C-alpha cells in the first residue's frame, strides 16, 4: 500500500542518531569522480502491474562520470530518512544496529555545477537490486562502476523492492512477490516480477530516448536473474551480468542472442555456481546452444558469500563495526571485507563491458587466473 510521510518513524530515527557521527563512503577506484541524481520517472503508458489504481512510477539513482578537474565535491545522504528507518527495522531483526544507515553519505560531484558533462555519451549500464532490498543498498557498487566511465542507473521496482520513497513523500512498500519456497515451489510470482522488472528497464531506455543496441544490464541476486530476462526481452541490451542470483523463467530454455549478438557473465559465490545450482547449469547450457551469444564467462570469488556483493559489506567496514557484529549479522555480509570485492567488481565488470562493446581489447583478467586477483576463479568461458 502507499503510505504518506511516515513522520513518527522519521522523528524516532532522528532522536536515536542525532548525537552520532556520520560516515563518508570512499570514492570509486576508477579515473573519474561521479555525479548523482535521484529522480522519479513515470510510465504513463501502463498501469502498475501490482496496483491498477495508478500508472507505473519508479525511482532511479543516476551516476555519471565526471573528470576530477571539473568536479565540485559535496556530501549527499546515502539513503533518505524514511527508507533508512524502515531498513533499520528490517535489518535489526538480523542483529544490525539501529540508527546506522541514515549516518552514511556519498561524496559526489555537485550535478548542478558539472558543466556539459551530462551531455557526453557514456556507455549506459542499468542495475537491478535483489528481491526485498532497495536499489540504495547497491548504489556504492553503481558508484564504483560509474567511476570507470559508465553512466549507471539503479532502479527501484515498487511493490517488489522493500521500500520506495518518492519525492512527494509517498512510500510504497514491497512484499508482493512470493518466493517459490513460500508457494509450494511455484515460480509464477517471481516470473511475473521478472517481467515487470524487464519492462521497467525497457521504460528507462524509452525515457532516455535510447535508440542503440549497446545498453548494459547488471544486477545482484534476483536483480541478476532480471538482467537475463531484460536481455531476452529487449534487443537494445548488448550484455548482462548476474551477480549470484538464481535463474527463473524463459531464459532457462530460450537463449539470449536471438535478435543479435549478446554477451553474459555470471558471478557466483562459495557454494553457488553452475556446478551446484541447476538453474545456472541449465542457463549456461542454453547460452552454449546459441550462435548469437558471442561472449560468456563464469567467475567466483573464494570465500565469498551472497552478501559479499551488496553495499552492506562495505558499510560495516566504513562504520568500523564488522568485528562487533553477531554471527547472524556477519552471515549477511560474508567473510571478505567490502573494498576487495569492490576492487574486483571495478576491474572485471568494466573490462567485460568495454570488451563486448568493442571499445577496448579483452582484459587479461577475463582470460583466466590473475596475479592481481588470486581469489577470483574462472569456472567457464
Active site residues: 221, 244, 306
Question: How does strand 293-301 pair with strand 262-268?
Answer: parallel
- Helix (H/G/I), strand (E/B), else coil: 308: helix
DSSP label at residue 97: P
Beta bridge partners of 2: 172
Quickly tell me which residue has 524502515 as its cell: 86
Cβ atoms of 236 and 212 closer than 8 Å: yes
Which three cell numbers mark 5?
A: 510521510
CA dihedral 100, 102, 105, 111 (to 10 degrees): 160
Cβ atoms of 246 and 278 closer than 8 Å: no
Q: Report how far residue 381's alpha carbon sits from residue 365's, in angstroms, rounded to the nearest whole number.
A: 12
Which three cell numbers mark 18?
A: 542525532
Quickly tell me which residue has 567488481 as its cell: 345
**256 closest CA partner among 283, 223, 287, 230:** 287
Spell out a b/e string for 41-58, using b for 16 or more CB atoms within 10 Å of the CB, else e.
bebeeeebbbeeeeebbb
Amino acid at each position: 500500500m502507499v503510505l504518506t510521510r511516515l513522520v513518527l518513524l522519521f522523528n524516532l530515527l532522528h532522536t536515536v542518531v542525532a548525537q552520532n557521527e556520520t560516515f563518508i563512503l570512499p570514492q570509486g577506484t576508477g579515473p573519474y569522480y561521479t555525479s548523482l541524481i535521484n529522480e522519479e520517472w513515470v510510465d504513463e503508458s501502463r498501469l502498475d502491474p501490482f496496483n491498477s489504481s495508478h500508472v507505473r512510477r519508479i525511482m532511479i539513482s543516476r551516476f555519471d562520470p565526471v573528470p576530477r578537474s571539473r568536479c565540485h565535491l559535496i556530501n549527499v545522504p546515502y539513503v533518505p530518512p524514511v527508507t533508512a528507518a524502515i531498513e533499520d527495522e528490517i535489518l535489526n531483526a538480523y542483529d544490525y544496529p539501529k540508527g546506522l544507515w541514515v549516518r552514511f553519505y556519498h561524496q559526489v560531484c555537485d550535478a548542478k555545477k558539472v558543466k556539459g558533462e551530462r551531455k557526453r555519451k557514456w556507455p549506459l549500464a542499468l542495475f537491478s537490486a535483489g528481491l526485498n532490498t532497495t536499489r540504495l543498498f547497491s548504489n556504492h557498487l553503481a558508484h564504483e562502476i560509474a567511476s570507470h566511465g559508465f553512466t549507471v542507473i539503479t532502479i527501484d521496482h515498487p511493490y517488489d523492492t522493500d521500500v520506495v520513497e518518492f519525492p512527494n513523500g509517498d512510500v510504497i512498500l514491497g512484499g508482493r512477490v512470493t518466493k517459490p519456497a513460500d508457494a509450494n515451489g511455484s515460480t509464477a510470482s517471481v516470473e511475473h516480477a521478472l517481467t515487470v522488472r524487464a519492462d521497467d528497464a525497457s521504460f528507462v531506455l524509452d525515457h532516455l530516448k535510447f535508440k542503440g543496441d549497446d545498453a548494459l544490464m547488471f544486477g545482484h541476486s534476483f536483480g541478476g536473474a532480471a538482467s537475463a530476462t531484460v536481455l531476452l526481452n529487449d534487443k537494445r541490451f548488448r550484455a548482462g551480468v548476474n551477480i549470484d542470483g538464481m535463474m527463473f523463467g524463459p531464459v532457462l530454455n530460450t537463449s539470449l542472442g536471438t535478435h543479435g549478438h549478446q554477451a553474459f557473465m555470471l558471478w557466483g559465490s562459495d557454494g553457488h555456481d553452475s556446478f551446484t545450482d541447476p538453474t545456472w547449469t541449465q542457463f549456461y547450457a542454453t547460452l552454449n546452444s546459441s550462435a548469437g551469444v558471442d561472449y560468456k564467462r563464469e567467475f567466483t570469488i573464494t570465500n565469498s558469500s551472497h552478501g559479499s556483493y551488496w553495499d552492506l559489506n562495505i558499510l560495516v567496514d566504513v562504520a568500523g563495526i564488522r568485528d562487533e557484529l553477531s554471527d547472524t549479522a556477519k552471515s549477511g555480509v560474508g567473510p571478505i571485507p567490502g573494498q576487495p570485492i569492490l576492487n574486483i567488481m571495478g576491474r572485471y565488470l568494466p573490462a567485460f563491458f568495454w570488451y563486448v562493446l568493442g571499445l577496448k581489447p579483452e582484459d587479461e583478467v577475463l582470460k583466466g587466473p590473475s596475479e592481481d586477483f588470486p581469489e577470483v576463479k574462472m569456472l567457464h568461458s
